[in-house]
Chains A and B, each alone.
Chain A
Amino acid sequence: MAEHELYFATDAQLRAYKIRKIITQVLLYGFLTLVGLFIILPFWYMIITSFKSTNAFENEELSGKLVLYLNSTNFSFEQFQKVFQGSFNFGSFYLNTVIVAVLSTTFTVVTTVLAAFAFARVNFKGKDVLFTILLGTMMVPGEMMMMTNYQTTVQFGWYNTFAALILVHGVSVFYIFYLRQTFQQIPNELFLAAKVDGYGHFQYLWKCMIPIAMPTIVTILILSLMGAWNAYIWPTLIASGENSVLAKMGISHSMLLVSNGLMKQFTSEFSNDTPARITGSLFATVPLFVFFLIFRKYIMRGISRSGIKG
């Protein structure tokens, strides 16, 4: 503030400047708060609706007196029982999604680290050509691969199995590219020093490169977990029925994940029960939110640095 005072000839000018500054700040905060409310509104609506009874919600909608708070007439826990009933089976959705998320993330990270290491540190013939081809495939829309992958996966007998969800889109060129960038920033001298100490390539990867590149690997881990949680098109196509392996053993186990399990409720017996479906949305959102609150720093930094839209 003190610096600015130097620029003004008279007190009146200074006062005008200060007033203008205050008005700007008020407008800024007002605008940001308004947009913030717009961002928050769907979440608030989701939480409030989840705690309403279906009857109260329908009455409010029909009478045009929807309230965005809870009171003694509309409050109820009934929705929380519904999401574990009938075609809504959040226990199974969660279990399947966690299995797929953990296994596919492990698979992704292992293959990505090895491939990025090969591209960044090891010299072999054909490396650059191969890398260019892989980069080129990043331009291609995923639907183009999905078209054939659907047929291949059915051919392999992977229809309605976890393998289809974990292995088919598990390796990502983008992650390999992103981790390779980080690996390449590690100075070559370190590698030579490690070589003098008697480290081989893979020992060097394990003991030096992975610890140094940990922030990037954690980012990949988080993005991959979030991607698995939100995956929709592929799981809907390939695994929206009963698990085919378990079915042979006489166990019926639905393969639905969180997203397509939720989507199914639009056409299930809950199609007219809006609060029940909204509670399903809440159940799909809350784990992601908790995850976000714990890893907020990593997620925001990782996404702004890697620049990826999941």
Chain B
Amino acid sequence: MDNLEQKTNVEVLPNPDGTMNWDARLASLGISTKKELKTRSHKWIMPEWMKGWIALIPALIFLILFMIYPILNTFIMSFCNNFYWVGNSGSSFVIINYIAGIQNTRASTELSWGIQNYVNVLKDPVFISALGNTGLIVIVSVPLTIIVGLLLAVCLNAIKPLQGFYQTVFFLPYVTNTIALGMVFNAMFSSGPGGLFNMLISIFGVSPQHWLDINASKWNMFVVIVIYSIWNGIAFKILVFMSGLAAIDKQYYDAARIDGSSKITIFRRITVPLLSPQILYITITSFIGACKSYSQIISLFGGGSRDFGGVDKNTWITVVGYIVKLIDSTADSAQGRGAAGCVILLAIVLVITLVQFGVSKTRVHY
């Protein structure tokens, strides 16, 4: 403070026209304007762009190494006909090896390029069944989960006492470990007469069924997969729908009630259109999520991470299951086929997203 006052004593006269010479006045206070900073001060100040890059570099190193490079590498790998990954021997970097001219096939022949991996994958009956299974899971479990979630959210929104309690209960499946609860479902659907679900259906006079063991039919397994998918996925949907419902203006409902609209009309004409952004969001994320089903299926069947049910352990194999099996496989051009599978999965995800955005243009009201 003393310092400041001393400096204010330095007289800075106004300009002849009465305006103040602010640069000089500020300088007298010890505050330099930018121009003077450059000319007078020799202290180096880090330019802004450099600060930006310094802040960015920690994240960027890892993003490039473990995200951007892998995307490119996997893409290129899928077009390499005879890529054979030999493990820890300097052969993993397809691009780098190619540029450096390192041989990385088992037979150490020249790399050859083409679409052989795609042909192999699409000819593979396991992959075709994986595509079909994934498609079924997507088509059945996603709409069911969304409809049940929407219904529950609307019901929850219509009650006042205990709303928070019910909401917390419905949220519980979100904070669980998919593997752990899959294991519990595996036991609940055990085939004995004392399996929990078998006991439940026996109330309705249905005899005990094989649900998940190797004697079970494909469709019994599917029932369990769908039930677990709904149980597992519903929490997130309810939460998003509830936050959407809370944002809808109550006046719309009052107006509709005065007009004497029925509950169903109100739901169809007010709730759904005003909730359409949330519905679109949930539809896209759950379609993509279901395309990538994996953990919830293997955790149900209980034969370890390569078991998708049935005698051949492939009954309900999914696309991701097919890919994961190939990641650390030592079979011929396994990684190439896996990479081709990844690219096909990416294409499917992209198409679904684009179609849904296309639909949303006419159907979603913002």
By a beta-carbon cutoff of 8 Å, the part of chain A in contact with chain B is 24-25, 28-29, 31-32, 35-36, 38-43, 45-46, 49, 60-66, 68, 110-112, 114-115, 117-119, 122-125, 127, 130, 133-134, 137, 139-152, 154-155, 157, 159, 167-171, 173, 176, 201-202, 205, 226, 229-230, 232-233, 236-237, 258-260, 262-264, 266-267, 271, 274, 277-278, 280-282, 284-285, 288-289, 291-292, 296, 299-300, 303-305, 307, 309-310
Chain B contact residues, majority secondary structure = helix
Q: A304 contacts B240, CB within 8 Å?
A: yes
Q: Which residues of B, 231-277, contact A by the 8 Å Cβ criterion?
A: 231, 234, 236, 239-240, 242-243
- Asked whether any CB of chain A lies closer than 8 Å to the CB of B173, the reply is yes
At the interface with chain A, which of B13-21, B121-129, B218-226, B295-303? B295-303
- Asked whether any CB of chain A lies closer than 8 Å to the CB of B199, the reply is yes
CB distance from A142 to the nearest CB of B (A): 8
Q: A266 contacts B183, CB within 8 Å?
A: yes
Q: B63 contacts A201, CB within 8 Å?
A: no
| CB neighbours of B243 from chain A (8 A) | 304-305
By a beta-carbon cutoff of 8 Å, the part of chain B in contact with chain A is 48-53, 55-56, 58-60, 62-63, 65-71, 73-75, 77, 85, 87-88, 90, 92-93, 152, 155-156, 158-159, 162, 166-181, 183-185, 187-188, 190, 192-196, 198-199, 202, 208, 231, 234, 236, 239-240, 242-243, 281, 285-286, 289, 291-292, 294-295, 298-299, 302-305, 307, 320, 323-324, 327-328, 335, 338-339, 342-343, 345-346, 349-350, 353
| CB neighbours of A169 from chain B (8 A) | 66
CB distance from A133 to the nearest CB of B (A): 7
- A28-B155, A28-B159 as given contacts; A139 in contact with B74, CB under 8 Å: no
Q: A66 contacts B196, CB within 8 Å?
A: yes
| CB neighbours of A152 from chain B (8 A) | 65-66, 69-70, 92-93
Q: A33: nearest residue on chain B (CB-CB)?
A: B166
Q: A111: nearest residue on chain B (CB-CB)?
A: B59
- A64-B193, A115-B55, A141-B292 as given contacts; A278 in contact with B184, CB under 8 Å: yes
A118 CA to B66 CA in the complex, in Å?
20
| CB neighbours of B158 from chain A (8 A) | 24, 28
- A38-B231, A280-B183 as given contacts; A141 in contact with B345, CB under 8 Å: yes
